[in-house]
């Protein structure tokens, strides 16, 4: 447990990617070339007076000024401090679009609105096209502990938004941007830990008390659960792991899985009227083999998550595997010791006998008919697998009730969108960005991007050059074109650079040796599939129509889109590994290749059916679902192992039908109880405010429910159907 004090939580989206991830490397390269773009956006929805009322512009001006006071702030962009160039006869002025709001009259306000709505660098990016929504964007460079710096920025930002709305109660201010997203990861984990874990423990305690009718066994089971969780977190600390939003849910999964072994031993302990130590010895004699086997196979399933392309899922798999191994050992060691120290558990609950008789009745008199019906159902469901496709949407990772998601969806619908691709468009030499032919190809690319149906906004340096060219031509509309010579373009760049106010520079759009420019395209209403398709179309267009332009591109949404695809391919290998390892373990442990093959089939079938149902109902495979196969396979193995181990033991003493009925009578109640406990645990996890965790729980719930049906209905029917005719009916 001591190692748990070494654990730290990292809320950044970067934790989802390996350091050598190609999309992460590309994105970090863009951040090295241009100004880092971690940002926080104050999304302002004005009151009835509208965006260009003096009161609203005063609010924007206040947020712009105070935004500089946020921790780690390096740049603030808004409607009011937007750098605008204008000609007044022979004089050229370059400065903020809005100054001294209190002195502006209606004519000036109308003039500002006309300029802002016509400027492509503002309209659709910082102000809504034809609407009143606007954003004040603060660029930050956090340092030190990621979680602490995120909290500092968000605390200050929320305080600033509250102060602004106090003075302007007619306005609504929401927080979006990368910093808000990182903090939403942290808040999701905190909410789950504070809300779901206590709820799950309470429900499990109540359920165990009702089902086992023994507080001593409940206390002993609870001790095993806590020991497994504490040991796993301590081991993670010593191994140098960092907790992330997915891996922070490991305690819930460990607790849920740990209960299964304790229930099997606990129900066996309360069976009979002899002395406690004899009942314990008998329970351990019956269940130590299955418990050890299920412990190892479950751990193998979770360890297959190491094939995942997503580091937090690898950590989650390792954490739970450690916890599962500890739980298996503790259920055979700590549970009996505590049971001996605590008062006698007493007689077996009455419901167990009734449930045992019900389960024994599931032994089919006509197994062939049941198998036929089951086979037809399977044939109808399995085609759903063909409907599955890789798709993801990182904004939908957060529950609709999350303030970040609400703000992100508002930005996506009415401003530039949350989904961006950044392009570094490169010339062949220093200063090469001023060559007219090169600029013409960049402008053509920007024009093509604006014509695409997914595009919400394009930010390109060629718009700055065109605006300056028009300004220097006396604001003649026909002069809104690129400069005709490289010399003129270089002079415009120098003029613009020298005119920028303190705190703003050109490095967010142009690199230091004028060899490349940054183009930012914002996409609206897209998911990972459409993002990847857009990326391919844009790359093909550049290759065909812009031979002078070389490029490198990246974006957070691109990173998530690619990692989803890679994770599916990686987990296919991991799942194959898990199947082979678990199959080999079962063959060795059962010492009956036929039973091992049956076990492997009945373990794979519920997982395949669950994914097929998912294909019919949802279709999309995202990060969470692609990692679920190995995890659910490890869990569903438990029921089959306990059934077949018991069946093989009884088969040496009685015929098939009697062995099946006796197995269902003794093991069936424990399977029902453990499934109910698993349902409680994963149902709590399914209520997570973080969709990756919730989806993982939902597919697991579906799988364990189907596994119980397969093990209680189809597996007994198969055992009896394959038995010799003289034995199949007793």
Comparing CA positions, the residue from 281, 262, 267, 276 lying closest to residue 350 is 267
Q: Which long-range contacts does 210-215 make (Cβ < 8 Å, 24+ apart)?
A: 211/263, 211/349, 211/351, 211/673, 211/676, 212/263, 212/266, 212/267, 212/270, 212/345, 212/349, 213/270, 213/346, 213/349, 214/266, 214/270, 214/345, 214/346
Comparing CA positions, the residue from 213, 204, 191, 254 lying closest to residue 680 is 204
What average pLDDT does the chain have? 89
Comparing CA positions, the residue from 216, 208, 301 lying closest to residue 260 is 208
User: Which tokens go with 420?
Assistant: 């961006």
The set of residues, in sequence order, having a beta carbon less than 8 Å from that of 544 and lying 6+ positions away, is: none
Least confident segment among 201-205, 461-465, 702-706: 201-205
Query: pLDDT grade, residue 726 (50/70/90)?
Result: very low
Query: pLDDT grade, residue 161 (50/70/90)?
Result: very high
List strands edge to edge, sheet with 39-45.
Answer: 73-77, 134-140, 39-45, 172-176
Can you tell me the distance from the alpha carbon of 650 to that of 595, in angstroms, rounded to the nearest whole number?
14
Domains and CATH numbers, the chain: 37-193 (no CATH), 213-396+560-721 (1.20.1640.10), 428-548 (no CATH)
What is the chain's length? Answer: 730
Can you tell me the distance from the alpha carbon of 222 to that of 230, in angstroms, rounded to the nearest whole number?
12
List strands edge to edge, sheet with 550-554.
Answer: 455-459, 516-523, 419-426, 550-554
Can you tell me the distance from the alpha carbon of 680 to that of 626, in angstroms, rounded to the nearest whole number?
23
563-622: pLDDT as tens digits: 988 888 888 888 888 888 888 888 888 888 888 888 888 989 999 999 999 999 988 887
Query: At residue 346, does pLDDT exceed 90?
Result: no
- Region 162-186 average pLDDT: 94
The set of residues, in sequence order, having a beta carbon less than 8 Å from that of 510 and lying 6+ positions away, is: 433, 461, 493, 516, 517, 518
Of residues 685 and 224, more confidence is placed in 224
User: Which tokens go with 489?
Assistant: 């373009």
Q: Nearest 10 degrees: CA dihedral of 545, 546, 551, 557?
A: -40
Q: Nearest 10 degrees: CA dihedral of 148, 152, 154, 157?
A: -170
Can you tell me the distance from the alpha carbon of 511 to that of 517, in angstroms, rounded to the nearest whole number?
6
Can you tell me the distance from the alpha carbon of 67 to that of 75, in angstroms, rounded to the nearest whole number?
9
The set of residues, in sequence order, having a beta carbon less than 8 Å from that of 616 and lying 6+ positions away, is: 381, 384, 387
Can you tell me the distance from the alpha carbon of 573 to that of 583, in angstroms, rounded to the nearest whole number?
15
Can you tell me the distance from the alpha carbon of 459 to that of 711, in angstroms, rounded to the nearest whole number?
59
Residue 64 neighbours by CB distance under 10 Å:
22
Comparing CA positions, the residue from 316, 170, 339, 197 lying closest to residue 268 is 339
Query: At residue 710, does pLDDT exceed 90?
Result: yes
Query: At residue 511, does pLDDT exceed 80?
Result: yes
Q: What are phi and psi of 39, to 5 degrees?
A: -140, 165
Q: Which pLDDT belongs to residue 670?
A: 87
Least confident segment among 89-93, 138-142, 199-203, 242-246: 89-93
Q: Which pLDDT belongs to residue 728?
A: 45
Can you tell me the distance from the alpha carbon of 355 to that of 419, in angstroms, rounded to the nearest whole number?
54
User: Which tokens go with 158?
Assistant: 């929320």
Q: Does residue 179 contact residue 154 with C-beta atoms inside 8 Å?
A: yes
Query: At residue 345, does pLDDT exceed 60?
Result: no
Query: pLDDT grade, residue 347 (50/70/90)?
Result: low
Q: Which pLDDT belongs to residue 6?
A: 93
Can you tell me the distance from the alpha carbon of 561 to that of 622, in angstroms, rounded to the nearest whole number?
9
Degrees, nearest 5: CA angle 690-695-698: 130
Chain centroid to CA 52? 39
Question: With the C-alpha atoms ordered 407, 410, 411, 412, is the resulting torsion angle positive or negative?
Answer: positive
Can you tell me the distance from the alpha carbon of 572 to that of 595, in angstroms, rounded to the nearest whole number?
25
Q: Which pLDDT belongs to residue 724?
A: 58
Q: Which pLDDT belongs to residue 214?
A: 77
Question: With the C-alpha atoms ordered 424, 547, 430, 459, is the resulting torsion angle positive or negative?
Answer: negative
- Write down the pTM of the prediction: 0.86
Burial of 130-151, coded b for 16+ CB within 10 Å and e otherwise, reads eebbbbbbbbbebeeebbebbb
Query: At residue 729, does pLDDT exceed 50?
Result: no
Rounded percentage of the chain residues whose pLDDT exceeds 70: 97
* Tally of CA atoms within 13 A in the half-sphere of 174 that contains its CB: 18
- In DSSP terms, 127 is beta-bridged to 123, 134
Residue 317, helix vs strand vs coil: helix
User: Which tokens go with 425?
Assistant: 């468009």
User: Which tokens go with 493?
Assistant: 């760049």
612-648: pLDDT as tens digits: 999 999 888 877 787 788 778 878 888 888 899 999 8
Helix (H) or strand (E) holding 35: none
DSSP state of 713: I
Q: Does residue 95 contact residue 524 with C-beta atoms inside 8 Å?
A: no
Q: Which pLDDT belongs to residue 730?
A: 40
Comparing CA positions, the residue from 180, 168, 178, 176 lying closest to residue 51 is 168
User: Which tokens go with 309?
Assistant: 């392309």
User: Which tokens go with 439?
Assistant: 């600029």
CA-based R_g, the chain, Å: 32
Query: pLDDT grade, residue 159 (50/70/90)?
Result: very high
Query: pLDDT grade, residue 37 (50/70/90)?
Result: low
- Region 426-448 average pLDDT: 96
Query: At residue 226, does pLDDT exceed 60?
Result: yes
Comparing CA positions, the residue from 706, 638, 690, 581 lying closest to residue 316 is 690
Q: Which pLDDT belongs to residue 725?
A: 47
Q: Nearest 10 degrees: CA dihedral of 32, 38, 39, 40?
A: -170
Helix (H) or strand (E) holding 103: none
Rounded percentage of the chain residues whose pLDDT exceeds 90: 54
| Residue 502 burial by Cβ neighbours in a 10 Å radius (0-12, 13-18, 19+) | exposed
Query: At residue 36, does pLDDT exceed 70?
Result: no
Pairing between β-strand 172-176 and β-strand 620-621 as defined by DSSP bridges: unpaired
Can you tell me the distance from the alpha carbon of 695 to that of 716, in angstroms, rounded to the nearest whole number?
31
Q: What are phi and psi of 455, to 5 degrees?
A: -75, 130
The listed range with the strongest mean pLDDT (34-38, 149-153, 261-265, 622-626) is 149-153
């Amino acid at each position: 447990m001591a190692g748990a004090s070494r654990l730290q939580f990292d809320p950044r989206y970067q934790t989802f990617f390996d350091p050598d991830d190609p999309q992460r490397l590309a994105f970090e390269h863009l951040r090295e070339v241009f100004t880092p773009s971690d940002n926080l956006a104050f999304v302002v929805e004005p009151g009835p007076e509208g965006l260009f009322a003096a009161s609203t512009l005063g609010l924007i001006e206040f947020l712009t000024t105070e935004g500089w006071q946020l921790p780690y702030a390096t740049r603030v962009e808004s409607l009011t401090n937007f750098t605008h160039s204008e000609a007044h006869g022979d004089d050229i002025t370059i400065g903020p679009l809005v100054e001294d709001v209190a002195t502006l009259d209606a004519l000036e306000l109308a003039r500002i609105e006309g300029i802002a709505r016509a400027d492509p660098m503002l309209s659709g990016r910082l102000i809504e096209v034809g609407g009143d929504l606007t954003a004040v964007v603060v660029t930050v460079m956090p340092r030190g502990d990621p979680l602490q710096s995120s909290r500092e920025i968000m605390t200050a930002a929320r305080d600033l938004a509250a102060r602004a709305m106090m003075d302007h109660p007619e306005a609504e201010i929401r927080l979006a941007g990368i910093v808000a997203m990182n903090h939403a990861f942290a808040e999701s984990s905190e909410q789950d830990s504070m809300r779901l874990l206590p709820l799950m423990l309470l429900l499990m305690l109540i359920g165990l008390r009702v089902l086992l009718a023994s507080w001593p066994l409940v206390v002993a089971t609870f001790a095993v659960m806590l020991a497994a969780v504490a040991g796993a977190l301590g081991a993670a600390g010593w191994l140098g792991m960092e907790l992330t939003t997915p891996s922070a849910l490991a305690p819930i999964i460990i607790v849920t899985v740990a209960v299964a072994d304790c229930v099997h031993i606990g129900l066996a302990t309360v069976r009979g009227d002899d002395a406690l130590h004899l009942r314990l010895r008998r329970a351990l004699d019956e269940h130590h083999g299955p418990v050890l086997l299920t412990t190892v196979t479950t751990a193998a399933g979770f360890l297959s998550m190491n094939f995942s392309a997503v580091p937090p899922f690898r950590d989650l798999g390792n954490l739970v595997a450690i916890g599962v191994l500890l739980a298996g050992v503790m259920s055979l060691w700590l549970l009996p010791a505590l049971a001996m120290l605590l008062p006698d558990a007493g007689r077996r609950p009455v419901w167990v006998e009734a449930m045992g008789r019900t389960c024994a009745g599931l032994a089919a008199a006509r197994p062939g008919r049941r198998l036929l019906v089951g086979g037809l159902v399977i044939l109808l469901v399995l085609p759903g697998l063909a409907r599955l496709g890789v798709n993801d949407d990182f904004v939908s990772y957060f529950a609709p009730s999350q303030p970040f998601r609400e703000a992100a969806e508002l930005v996506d619908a009415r401003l530039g969108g949350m989904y961006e691709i950044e392009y570094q468009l490169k010339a062949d030499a220093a200063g090469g960005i001023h060559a007219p032919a090169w600029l013409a190809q960049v402008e053509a690319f920007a024009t093509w991007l604006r014509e695409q149906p997914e595009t919400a906004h394009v930010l390109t340096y060629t718009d700055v050059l065109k605006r300056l060219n028009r300004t220097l031509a006396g604001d003649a509309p026909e002069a809104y074109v690129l400069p005709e010579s490289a010399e003129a373009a270089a002079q415009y760049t120098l003029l613009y650079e020298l005119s920028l106010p303190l705190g703003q520079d050109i490095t967010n759009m142009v690199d230091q040796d004028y060899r490349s420019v940054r183009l930012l395209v914002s996409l609206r209403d897209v998911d990972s599939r459409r993002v990847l398709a857009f990326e391919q179309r844009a790359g093909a267009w550049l290759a065909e129509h812009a031979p002078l332009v070389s490029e490198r591109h990246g974006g957070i949404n691109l990173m998530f889109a690619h990692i989803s695809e890679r994770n599916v391919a990686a987990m296919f290998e991991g799942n194959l590994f898990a199947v082979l390892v678990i199959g080999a373990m079962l063959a060795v442990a059962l010492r009956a290749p036929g039973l091992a093959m049956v076990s492997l089939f009945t373990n794979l079938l519920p997982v395949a059916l669950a994914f097929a149902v998912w294909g019919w109902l949802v279709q999309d495979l995202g990060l969470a679902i692609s990692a679920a196969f190995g995890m659910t396979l490890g869990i569903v193995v438990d029921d089959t192992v306990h059934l077949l181990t018991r069946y093989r033991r009884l088969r040496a003493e009685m015929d098939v039908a009697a062995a099946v009925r006796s197995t269902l009578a003794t093991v069936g109640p424990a399977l029902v109880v453990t499934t109910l406990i698993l349902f409680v645990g994963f149902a709590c996890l399914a209520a997570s405010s973080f969709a990756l965790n919730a989806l993982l729980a939902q597919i697991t719930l579906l799988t364990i429910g189907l596994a119980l049906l397969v093990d209680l209905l189809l597996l007994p029917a198969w055992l009896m159907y394959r038995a010799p005719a003289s034995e199949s009916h007793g």
